[in-house]
Amino acid sequence: MALLDIHNLVVEFQTASGPFRAVDGVSLHVEEREVLAIVGESGSGKSVSMLAVMGLLPWTATVTADRMTFNGRDLLKMSPAERRKIVGKDMSMIFQEPMASLNPCFTIGFQIEEVLRFHMGMDKAQRRARAIELLKQVGIPEPEDRLNSFPHQMSGGQCQRVMIAIAIACNPKLLIADEPTTALDVTIQKQILDLLVSLQAKYGMGLIMITHNMGVVAETADRVIVQYKGRKMEEADVLSLFESPKSNYTRALLSALPENAVGDRLPTVSDMMFEPAPSGAGA
């Protein structure tokens, strides 16, 4: 049975000019111990669909789906209180801007222990020990001293490691990483991706990587979903996606990579673009 199973997800936002459909009939599933990458450009609805799973969308959003289950439980019928018990514990998320997603007013120790107190009900000594263990796992040197640091005293890469520590604090079954390395340097990006993949393998988590970077997809994913304008264009395992992309959009995206340039000009997506068929299966 799939860990996360979504069928026909639709997310609409109420705007001044009528409803705007950000996600239009996306179906996806993630198995345990699987890395799924969702790729798309800005506005493709890749983040919004995962925020809908986490229940983090603002009240202006309407979420409907035929089916949305996590670990066998129906997320649609769940009360907000029940959902809060799952979010951050069995299913957690890492965001794009590590500096902005940590609270600047509290030490990182406090922010890691907060999760442990709320979800695991640990006492003070247990929490501290676990926080040190977590910081060690994500590769932060001198974790005992670092617990008392504030986010502004750490670099972007270290802040992202702390975010990962918070996300894996309760041994989640599913980790959603929303552009986890976009704000980081290439060398740091490599370290963070390696860390995520090794943690995923070690704890057998399901991992969803949301990204726009084809290189990140190639380096991490088992299976890939390509989204465009809120619709699913293609779903394939990583090798066949790069070897023989089926939809025109994926082909256009791959050929727009500068490293794939053949002549002295790059083919652009609009050169090959088409109006996506309403079914969204790709032409």
Which residues bind to another protein, rule: CB under 8 A? 41-42, 185-190, 193, 201, 212-219, 238-239, 242-243, 252-254, 256-261, 264-270
Nearer to another protein, 2 or 254 (CB): 254
Nearer to another protein, 129 or 261 (CB): 261
Supply the minimum distance, in Å, between the C-beta of residue 265 and another protein: 5
Nearer to another protein, 147 or 238 (CB): 238
Residue length of the chain? 283
The first and second tokens of residue 241, run together, are 């996606």
How far is the C-alpha of 47 from the C-alpha of 23, rounded, in Å?
10
Nearer to another protein, 65 or 253 (CB): 253
Chain position carrying tokens 């069995």: 90
Nearer to another protein, 86 or 216 (CB): 216
Supply the minimum distance, in Å, between the C-beta of residue 12 and another protein: 22
Nearer to another protein, 143 or 157 (CB): 157
Supply the minimum distance, in Å, between the C-beta of residue 229 and another protein: 12
Supply the minimum distance, in Å, between the C-beta of residue 188 and another protein: 8
* CB-based contact 61:20 (threshold 8 Å): no
Supply the minimum distance, in Å, between the C-beta of residue 252 and another protein: 7
What lies within 8 Å, CB to CB, of 93 at 6+ separation is 50, 54, 56, 167, 175, 176, 177, 178
Phi, then psi, of 272 in degrees rounded to 5: -115, 0
How far is the C-alpha of 96 from the C-alpha of 181, rounded, in Å?
7
Supply the minimum distance, in Å, between the C-beta of residue 47 and another protein: 14
Supply the minimum distance, in Å, between the C-beta of residue 256 and another protein: 4
Nearer to another protein, 150 or 242 (CB): 242
Nearer to another protein, 105 or 186 (CB): 186
Indicate if the alpha-carbon torsion angle 77, 79, 80, 82 is positive or negative: negative
Supply the minimum distance, in Å, between the C-beta of residue 218 and another protein: 4
